[in-house]
Amino acid sequence: MASKSFKASRSSLSISSDAGDSAHHRPPLPPTVTFGRRTSSGRYVSYSRDDLDSELGSGEFMNYTVHIPPTPDNQPMDGPMDPSISQKVEEQYVSNSLFTGGFNSVTRAHLMDKVIESEASHPQMAGAKGSSCAILGCDAKVMSDERGADILPCECDFKICRDCYLDAVKTGGGICPGCKEQYKALDLDEMAVENGRPLPLPPPAGMSKMERRLSLMKSTKSVLMRSQTGDFDHNRWLFETRGTYGYGNAIWPKDGGFGNGNGKDDEVSEPQELVSKPWRPLTRKLKIPAAVLSPYRLLIFIRMVALGLFLAWRVMNKNEDAIWLWGMSVVCEIWFAFSWLLDQLPKLCPVNRSTDLSVLKEKFETPSPNNPTGKSDLPGIDVFVSTADPEKEPPLVTANTILSILAADYPVEKLACYVSDDGGALLTFEAMAEAASFANIWVPFCRKHDIEPRNPESYFNLKRDPYKNKVKPDFVKDRRRVKREYDEFKVRTNGLPDSIRRRSDAYHAREEIKAMKLQRQNRDEEPVEIVKVPKATWMADGTHWPGTWMTPGPEHSKGDHAGIIQVMLKPPSDEPLQGTADDTRLIDLTDVDIRLPLLVYVSREKRPGYDHNKKAGAMNALVRASAIMSNGPFILNLDCDHYIYNSQAMREGMCFMMDRGGDRLCYVQFPQRFEGIDPSDRYANHNTVFFDVNMRALDGLQGPVYVGTGCLFRRIALYGFDPPRSKEHHSGCCSCCFTHRKGRVSVATTPEEHRALRMGDSDDEEMNISLLPKRFGNSSFLIDSIPVAEFQGRPLADHPAVKNGRPPGALTIPRDLLDASTVAEAISVISCWYEDKTEWGNRVGWIYGSVTEDVVTGYRMHNRGWKSVYCVTKRDAFRGTAPINLTDRLHQVLRWATGSVEIFFSRNNALLASPRMKLLQRVAYLNVGIYPFTSIFLIVYCFLPALSLFSGQFIVQTLNVTFLTYLLIITVTLCMLAVLEIKWSGIELEEWWRNEQFWLIGGTSAHLAAVLQGLLKVVAGIEISFTLTSKSGGDDVDDEFADLYTVKWTSLMIPPITIMMTNLIGIAVGFSRTIYSVLPQWSRLLGGVFFSFWVLAHLYPFAKGLMGRRGRTPTIVFVWSGLIAITISLLWVAINPPSGSTEIGGSFQFP
C-alpha cells in the first residue's frame, strides 16, 4: 500500500490564542503540508497541487494551506494534459485513498488497493477493479471514467495509470510510452457540447476553489438590472402594497421603463409570465375544523375554571380527622393542576400541513428560461448517520440505513451521505464498504421499479404482495436476482467479525515469525527471547487499521485513535449516466441512472485528556467535514437504526424550506415511527401522543422541538446565525390565536448578505468577518463555505412576497471536484483539538453539556427567533426500532428525564429565554424541564389510597355532593378533551390510554430516579448511574417479540412494585376493618378502594411485564417487594395501633 504524507505539526495547525501578542506582532508563517507517494511496487512518485489560499484571512489567525515545493520531477503541470482530465483523475485518486491524521501527527493519504475482500465493481467505489498499468514494474490501476471504462490518453490505446501518465507529461516531454508519439490534448468540453450540455465559463487563472464559488454567488446576486435573457430580479423591482399577498399587489415596470435614466418610475404593467402562469405555493397549512377546535378550547377553559374552584374548595374544607392526609393530597393536587396547565396551554393552536411535490418539480426540475435543460435546481443535502459501537448497533442495520439513503428519490449529484463511526471500528468500515458495493445493484433496481421502502431488509420482509402495481415484465426476474445478492451480502456482513479476526491472526503470526527471524540474525549464538509483537487489526490490503484495534493498543483504542476519512463512493458525474443492457450485469439497466451519491466514512480523532462530548461532538465533526467536502446547505440527521421509509421524504421537507418564508425555518422535524413493536404496544413505545398531539400543537406556535433524529436542518441555523429579518419580527403572546401588529424596523441600509448572516443579540450588531475564526476555528475553507451555504439555501425569488431569495437556475452549475488538499483540510477539522477556544458546542452546532443535546440544540435555535415545522407525510418518512423490553424502556425514559432535569438547572431553562421566543413556546419548553419533578408528587399520591385504607380516613371529611360533583366535572372534561384530541390528531383511544398508563409507570420509577440523580449532581456533584444487574428469560429465538418477555432486574422497579404491593395490602386491610367494625364507614372505604384501583389499573402493564412469559419473575423482585410492603404495614400499625371497638376498625386486631 502506498501512502502520502501531509507533514504538519501541532503548533502549525492549531490556533494560538496569544498569536497577536507575539513579538513585533508578526503574522505566523503558514503551515506547510508536503506530499509524497510510494506505489505498491516500491517506486516513489511526487505529487503536486496548487496552494489553497483563502479569501477571509487575518494576521491573528492562521490559514491551513498546502505548500508543495517544486522538485526536478515535480513541476507545475503546464504540459499537454487537459485540466479537466487531471481534476477527474485526481478525484479518482482521492476516492481510493484512506486519509488519516490529527493532533501532533502526520496527515497521510493511504492508497487502498482493495477496501474489502470481495471485488468492488462500481466505478465510483473505492478500490474499484480495473485494468493494470502496462508500464513495467508498475502494478497500479488504469485511469477510468464514470462508467468504469479505461481512460486511454493516446490514440494507440496504451494502458497507463495516473502516476505514470504524470511522469510522462512532466519528465518525459509528453511522449506516450507505447507508440512514442506526442500526447494529444483530449478536450472533454467539446464532447460535452456534442452531448448537448452547456459549457461552464472558465474560471480566471489563479483563482481558488472557494473564490470561484463566492464569485458565482456574488455575480448572481449583483444582477439587479434586466439581463440578456430578459429576466430581472424580483426582489429589487417589486414593491408590496399594504394588502395581502397575491396577484395584483405588486408594481411592475414596463419593458424598458427602468434603468434608462429618464427617471420615470410611474409606468407599470403586468408581466406576461404571471398572467399566464399563476404562482403556486409549495406547502399549505390545514387548520383544524372549528367544530373540533372550538369545543376543545372551550373545554380547556372550563376545566381550568373547575380546577381552580375545586382547589379553592379543597383548601377551605379541611379534614380535621386526618389533617396530614388532607395536606399531602392538597399539595399534590395543586402541583398536578399546574403540571396539567403547562402541558395543555401549548395545545391551543394545533395545525396540520401538506406539501405539493408536483409544484416542487415544476419549479426546480422543469425546463424554463433560466434553466433550459431542466437540470435540478434543488439545493444539496448532506445526510448524517451516527454509530458508535458495532456490538450494540449491528453493522447490518447501519448498512441498510445507508442503502435507503443512497436510493432516495433526490438528485444524485445533490446528495451526500456521511457515516460517523465514533468507535473507529474496522468492522463498521468494512460493513460500509460492503454496503457501497451492494448499492451498485440495489440502487438502480429501486429506481427502475419504484421500490418502496428502499431498505432491502424491510422490503424483502414485507408481508404484503410485492408484485402489486408492478407492470414491467422483468420485475420478477430482477427481484429474484437482487434478493439472492442481498442474501449473500448479509452473509458476508455477518461474517465480517470472523473474517477480520482470522485475517488479523494470520498477519500477526507472520509478523511474529519475521521478528523472530530478525532477532536470530542479530543474535547468532545468544539465547532467543520470546518476541512480543502488538496484536494489530489488519485491513484487507494488508496494512494496519488506523482506528480502534480488537485488542486495544497505544493510539489504537476507542478513546485514542487518529482521525479517518475514506470516500467510499466518489462524487457522481454531473449529468445522468444511463445504464446499458450489459450481459455482465444481473439486471437490465437500460435508461436507468446508475450513478450513486457521495458516501464518506468519517471517524473523528480521539485522544486521552479531551472531552469528546459523545454524540454531539461527533455530529459537529460531521458538520465541519461535510462543509469542506460537499457543503450542502441542508443537513438530514438520522440514527443508524432509522432508515428512509418514504423515498421522497427529503423532497417533502424541501417543500417547506423552499417555500415563501422558508428562509426563516431552522429545521423540519419528521415524526418518529417504529417497527418491531408488540401489537398491544404495552409500554407506549410508539409514543403517538407526543408525536401526533404535542408536536402538531407546537407546530402552531414557533415549531416542534428537535427529537434527535429524522430532522432536516438548515446549515446556517446550526452555525448559530440569527434568522433573516430577525429585527423585523417580534414574538407575541400567541400569534396563532391572537392577532397583533408587528413592528417593522427599516433594514434597507443593511447589506443583503449581512441581513442574511447575522449573529448577535444587539440590534446594532452586524456580522464581523474577522470574528468568525474565533467562533468557527482556524479553517479558512470552512469560513469561506458559510456564505455559499447561506446563499444556496435560499428559496427561489419567484414571488413578490419571497424575501432574501435567489435567482432561478443558480444551483444548476456543476460541483467542484474533490482533491487531496480538500480532504486533508477535512481531516484537520475533525481533530480533537480543533474546537479549542471556539464556540463549537456552545453556540455553534449541536450544544454540549446535556444528555439530551437534541432538545437543547432546538431550544437555542428557537431562542434566537428561528421557526421550525412538523412534516407528517402520508407514507411514513422514516422508521426505526425502539426497545420493547420493560427495563430497556425504563432506562430510555431515565435518560430523557435526566436530560430534562439538567436543562432545568442550566441556563437553557425556558424561564431565561429571550423575548424572541413566543410565550406559549416558552411554556412548552418549561414543561420539558419540569415534568420529571411531577414524580415526587405522583409517588406520594399513589401511596395516599393505601394510607387512607390503613388509617380508615380519607382525603376529605365526607364524600359529600360538592366533592363528587367537582370530581365528576374534572373527570368528564378530561375524557372529553381526550376524545377531541383523538379527533384532531388521528390517534386511537387505546394509544391514549397506553400513554396514560406509562406516564404513571415512568413517573414512579425513571422520573424519580432522574430527579434524584439531577439533584445530587447539582448540589453535591455526585453522579449516579442505574445499570442492569441480572438477566432472566427471553430464550425463544423464534418469537419476534421474545425480548418483550425478558425480565431484567433493575433498581428502577422498586418504587412501582412497592406501590402495587402496598395498595393491595391496603385494600385487604380496609375491607377487613370495615367488615369487622361495629360502625362501618363504607364511604371512606369506597373512596380509598376506588383510588387504589385507579393506581393499580395504571400499573397493570408493569405488573404484566414482571410476570414474563410464564411467570418467571426473579425472586429478588418478590423479596424486595414483600419486605418493603411488610415494613410499611408494620410501621403504620406501630404508629397508629387499633385502640378498641369504638374506633374505626373496632374489634379487628393484627395477628
Q: What is the DSSP string of 807-868?
A: -TTTT-SPPPPP-HHHHHHHHHHTSTTTTTTS-BTTTBSSPPS-S-HHHHHHHHHHHTT-EE
Q: How confident is the model at residue 948 (pLDDT cuts 50, 70, 90)?
A: confident
Mean pLDDT of the chain: 77
Contact in structure between 598 and 415 (CB atoms under 8 Å): yes
* Residue-level pLDDT at 1017: 80
DSSP 312-324: HHHHHS--GGGHH
Cell 522538485 identifies what position?
Answer: 71
Give the CA radius of gyration of the chain: 34
Average pLDDT for 75-99: 62
Return the minimum-mean-pLDDT range out of 10-19, 327-336, 367-376, 635-644: 10-19
Nearest to 239 by CA among 800, 803, 728, 745: 800
Q: What is the mean pLDDT of residues 232-241?
A: 35
Written as one letter, the residue type at 463 is: K
Look-up: residue for cell 381552580?
308
Neighbours of 678 (CB within 10 A): 14
Q: Say whether 854 is catalytic.
A: yes
Which cell is 815 given? 460541483
Task: Give the residue, 275 or 564, on which the prediction is more confident.
Answer: 564
399-440 pLDDT per residue, tens? 999 999 999 999 999 999 999 999 999 999 999 999 999 999
Say if CB 1012 and CB 1055 are below 8 A apart: no
Q: Tell me, what's the pLDDT at 705?
A: 95
C-alpha cell of residue 868: 421550525
Rounded Cα distance between 183 and 540, Å, is 37
Can the peptide bond before residue 453 be classed as cis, meaning omega within 30 degrees of 0?
yes
pLDDT exceeds 60 at position 76: no
CA angle 1080, 1086, 1087 (to 5 degrees): 120
Report residue 804 as a C-alpha cell.
432574501
Q: Which of 241-250, 859-868, 952-961 shows the lowest per-residue confidence on average (mean pLDDT)?
A: 241-250
pLDDT for the residue numbered 573? 87
Nearest alpha carbon to residue 579 among 441, 472, 412, 484:
441
- Average pLDDT for residues 327-341, to the nearest whole number? 94
CA-to-CA separations, 861 to 282, 425, 751, 793, 845, in angstroms, rounded: 24, 34, 23, 17, 10
How far apart CA 310 and CA 338 sit, in angstroms, is: 13
Q: What is the pLDDT of residue 901?
A: 92
pLDDT at 464: 83
* Whole-angstrom distance, CA of residue 555 vs CA of residue 100: 13
Sign of the C-alpha dihedral computed for residues 75, 81, 84 and 89 taken in this order: negative
Of the residues 163, 854, 876, 1043, only one is catalytic, namely 854
Long-range contacts of 102-105 (CB under 8 A, 24+ apart): 102/562, 102/563, 102/605, 102/607, 102/827, 102/830, 102/831, 102/832, 103/10, 103/605, 103/607, 103/831, 103/832, 103/833, 104/9, 104/10, 105/562
Indicate the pLDDT class of residue 1132, thresholds 50, 70 and 90: low
pLDDT at 1119: 62
pLDDT of residue 526: 63
Q: How far apart are CA 734 and CA 747, in angstroms?
A: 25
**pLDDT > 90? residue 697:** yes
Secondary element (H or E) of residue 636: strand 634-639
* DSSP, residue by residue, 437-470: HHHHHHHHHHHHHT-SS--HHHHHT-SS-TTTT-
Q: What is the pLDDT of residue 78?
A: 41
Tell me the pLDDT band of 1088, cut-offs 50, 70 and 90. Answer: confident
Residues 6+ away with beta carbon under 8 Å from 343: 694, 927, 931
The reported pLDDT for the residue numbered 751 is 45
Which of the following is catalytic: 422, 478, 560, 876?
Answer: 422
Partners of 285 in the beta sheet? 353
Q: Which residues contact 272 (CB under 8 A, 6 or more apart)?
A: none
- DSSP SS3 for 643: strand
Which of the pair, 352 or 79, is modelled with greater confidence? 352
Distance CA 705, CA 854 (A): 8
**pLDDT value of residue 816:** 81
For residue 204, is pLDDT > 70?
no
CA distance 46 to 43: 10
CB–CB of 201/219 below 8 Å? no
pTM of the model as a whole: 0.80
High-pLDDT (> 90) share of the chain, %: 41
**Higher-pLDDT residue of 111, 362:** 362
Q: Which has more confidence, 479 or 65?
A: 479
Residue 742: pLDDT band with limits 50, 70, 90? very low
What percentage of the chain's residues is helix, strand, coil (to nearest 5)? 45, 10, 45
| Secondary structure class of 345 (helix, strand, coil) | helix
The reported pLDDT for the residue numbered 1087 is 76
Q: At residue 30, what are phi and psi to the nearest 5 degrees? A: -65, 140
> What phi and psi values does residue 159 have, to the nearest 5 degrees?
-80, 125
Name the grid cell of 344.
Answer: 395543555
Q: How many whole angstroms separate alpha carbon 953 and alpha carbon 305? A: 28
Mean pLDDT of 986-994: 91
Indicate whether 1145 pLDDT > 50: no
Q: What is the total residue count of the chain?
A: 1151
* pLDDT tens digit sequence for 1019-1030: 777 765 544 333
Distance between the two ends of the chain, CA-based, in angstroms?
83
Point out the least confidently predicted range of 39-48, 468-477, 818-827, 901-910: 39-48
